[in-house]
């Protein structure tokens, strides 16, 4: 039986990734800093164990790997936090918290698990980024900056660790109806305004993200590494289409002579 550990697995996207991974036959480690959430999630997911650790702690992640009892075939860096504020109002403490959990946590966990995967002969790592790491967004400068950095870190790790049989990819979710965004979509007005902007006409689900993560984790993706798969119903490509433009402008540049 193959095994997978997902960080931030106690809630939101991480929990759904854990559920789907169990459904397709993985033994699953549900790693979360929140013990109650990890234990609760594990109690309803077959073949899973709770692992209580912060992705920011080398010792806690080492202990979690020891508790899991084997080097996992797959590691998902999903734990992430956001602190909303315009840059001019963002405290240094909030900046540091976001960098610590999102970026440093991804580096710390990946380098620890990569060492175990090298001994095992290989593995697969998937990092959860965001479309907010591709394009800047309102009040989310710290968050977006870490997600963009994780995209580059994904390439760097794939470059350095391919020789050990370790593939490293990223999934960039768009407007997801769940997890940390649940409060946004609980407001019917925001829900409608945002949904209208998505070319496919709907918000994404946690399962949309989990499916992409499990594809990149799987042997079906054995020749894919260093890739960031955007799962957003097309919204990141629609920024210019969302700008108002008078139809008369369509003739600009056409030589009428
Ligand atoms: N929900 C969205 O709309 C959305 C969109 C794009 C990207 N993402 C990304 O998806 C990932 C999951 O987000 P979510 O929406 O499920 O968030 P969430 O807040 O619902 O869940 C995050 C989980 O991570 C855990 N966690 C927080 N800090 C931790 C730490 N230091 N160590 C271990 N666990 C920790 C929390 O306890 C929680 O269980 C994040 O990386 C987020 O940036 C989410």
Question: Candidates 80, 106, 134, 178: which one to mutate for ligand 1, based on the most atoms within 8 Å of Cβ?
Answer: 80
More confident residue, 20 or 246: 20
Mode of pairing for the β-strands spanning 3-7 and 27-32 = parallel
Q: Which residues contact 89 (CB under 8 A, 6 or more apart)?
A: none
pLDDT attached to residue 253: 75
Rounded Cα gap, residues 225 and 221, in angstroms: 8
pLDDT at 59: 98
**Is there an atom of ligand 1 within 6 Å of 77 CB?**
no
Q: How far is the CA of 11 from the centre of ligand 1 (A)?
A: 7
pLDDT for 28-44, tens place per residue? 999 999 999 999 999 99
Catalytic residues: 143
Q: Which of 209, 203, 176 is nearest to 17 (CA)?
A: 209
Atom 23, ligand 1: which residue's CA is nearest?
8
CATH number given to 3-251: 3.40.50.720
pLDDT exceeds cutoff 70 at 257: no
For ligand 1, whether the C-beta of 34 sits within 6 Å is yes
Whole-number Cα distances in Å, 165 to 151, 162, 205: 20, 5, 31
By the 10 Å C-beta count (0-12 exposed, 13-18 middle, 19+ buried), 29 is classed as: buried
Q: Which of 137-146, 202-211, 212-221, 233-242 has the lowest mean pLDDT?
A: 233-242
Give residue 212's pLDDT. 99
pLDDT of 256 strictly over 70 = no
Does 200 score more than 90 pLDDT?
Answer: yes
State pLDDT tens for residues 202-230.
Answer: 999 999 999 999 999 999 999 999 999 99
The residue to mutate among 20, 59, 131, 180, having the most atoms of ligand 1 within 8 angstroms of its beta carbon, is 180
Give the pLDDT band (50/70/90) at residue 243.
confident
Q: Per-residue b/e over 164-198, b at no fewer than 16 CB within 10 Å?
A: eebbbbbbbbbbbbbbebeeebeeeeeeeebbeeb
Task: Indicate if the pLDDT at residue 248 is higher than 90.
Answer: no
Cβ of 206 less than 6 Å from ligand 1: no
- Ligand 1, pocket-test mutation among 7, 10, 12, 100, most atoms within 8 A of CB: 12
Residue spans per domain, the chain: 3-251
Stretch 149-166: mean pLDDT: 98
With a 6 Å cutoff on the Cβ, whether 180 touches ligand 1 is yes
7 lines ligand 1 (CB under 6 A): yes
pLDDT value at position 70? Answer: 97
Ligand 1 center–CA 130 separation, angstroms: 11
Mean pLDDT of 189-193: 96
- Residue 12 vs residue 243, higher pLDDT: 12
Q: Is the pLDDT of residue 120 over 70?
A: yes
Whether 10 is in the pocket of ligand 1, judged by its Cβ within 6 Å, is yes
CA distance 46 to 23: 8
Answer yes or no: is the C-beta of 133 below 6 A from any ligand 1 atom: no
**144 has pLDDT over 70:** yes
Joined together, the tokens standing for residue 130 give 């965001």
Which two three-digit tokens encode residue 98? 């976001």
Tens of pLDDT, residues 60-77 = 999 999 999 999 999 999
User: How far is ligand 1, taken at its centre, from the CA of residue 81, in Å?
Assistant: 6
Q: In the predicted model, is pLDDT for residue 239 greater than 90? A: no
Confidence of residue 241 (pLDDT cuts 50, 70, 90): confident
Q: What is the pLDDT of residue 181?
A: 97
């Amino acid at each position: 039986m193959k095994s997978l550990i997902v960080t931030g697995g106690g809630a939101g996207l991480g929990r759904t990734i854990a559920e789907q991974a169990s459904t397709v036959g993985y033994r699953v480690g549900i790693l979360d800093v929140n013990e109650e959430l990890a234990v609760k999630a594990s109690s309803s997911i077959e073949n899973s164990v709770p692992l209580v650790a912060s992705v920011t702690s080398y010792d806690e992640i080492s202990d979690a790997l020891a508790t899991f009892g084997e080097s996992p075939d797959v590691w998902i860096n999903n734990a992430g936090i956001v602190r909303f504020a315009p840059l001019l109002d963002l405290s240094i403490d909030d900046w540091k918290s976001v960098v610590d959990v999102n970026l440093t946590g991804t580096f710390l966990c990946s380098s620890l698990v990569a060492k175990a995967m090298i001994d095992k002969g290989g593995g697969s790592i998937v990092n959860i980024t965001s479309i907010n790491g591709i394009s800047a967004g309102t009040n989310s400068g710290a968050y977006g900056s870490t997600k963009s950095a994780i995209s580059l870190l994904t390439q760097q790790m794939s470059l350095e660790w391919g020789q050990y049989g370790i593939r490293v990819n990223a999934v960039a979710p768009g407007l997801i109806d769940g997890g940390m965004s649940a409060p946004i979509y609980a407001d019917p007005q925001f829900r409608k305004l945002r949904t209208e902007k998505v070319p496919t006409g709907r918000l994404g689900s946690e399962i949309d993200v989990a499916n992409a993560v499990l594809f990149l984790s799987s042997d079906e993706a054995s020749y894919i590494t260093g890739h960031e798969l955007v799962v957003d119903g097309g919204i990141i490509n629609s920024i210019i289409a969302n700008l108002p433009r008078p139809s008369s402008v369509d003739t600009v540049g056409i030589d009428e002579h």
